[in-house]
Amino acid sequence: MRRLFEKKDVLSMLILAVAFFSVAVYDLGYTRTPTSGWDSSKGGEICFDLGSYQRVKAIYVLLADAKPVNFDVFTNGSGSWVYRKSFHESCYYKWRRLDLTGAYTRFIKLYF
């Protein structure tokens, strides 16, 4: 009876698997989180222009350190700013989803 794989075949597959695994583990891609030097604890606001009116279901917030993050969300769909929600949370490297219930807007403003 003939074996399915010869010893040299198994050894070749093992060497290739170790080589590919080593390359994959070494080069996992970009391992840093995108950040800016802006500090929201000093107050202020950020306004996003989406370029055209769009239905916005949610925004995602990356909490990069344990400092509390507090802001109010406003949208501008018909010429005046409309309060949508408040966000108050503090976590370490967590993504959070803030639902906007399908707001139709061109501008989103976060007021810290």
Verdict on whether the full-model pTM lies above 0.75? no
What are the helix and strand counts (H, E) for the chain?
1, 4
- Asked whether residue 59 is domain-assigned, the answer is yes
Map residue 26 onto helix, strand or coil: helix
Dump pLDDT digits (tens) for 37-92. 777 666 788 999 999 999 999 999 888 777 888 899 999 977 899 999 999 988 88
Q: Which residue has the higher pLDDT, 88 or 102?
A: 88
- Asked whether residue 2 is domain-assigned, the answer is no
Beta strand spans in the chain (E): 45-63, 69-76, 81-89, 94-111
Pairwise CA distance, residues 43 & 40, whole Å: 6
Q: Which residue has the tokens 């055209």?
A: 52
Count structural domains, the chain: 1
Give me the domain span that covers residue 72.
40-111
- Asked whether residue 33 is domain-assigned, the answer is no
So what's the pLDDT on residue 2? 67
Six-digit token string for 38: 């802006």
Query: Could you tell me the CATH number of the domain that includes residue 88?
Result: 2.60.120.260
Confidence band, pLDDT 50/70/90 cuts, at residue 101: confident
Six-digit token string for 14: 């093992």
Pairwise CA distance, residues 19 & 91, whole Å: 38
Q: Which residue has the tokens 């990069």?
A: 64
Specify the length of the chain in residues: 112
Reading across the β-sheet that carries 94-111, which strands appear in turn?
45-63, 94-111, 69-76, 81-89
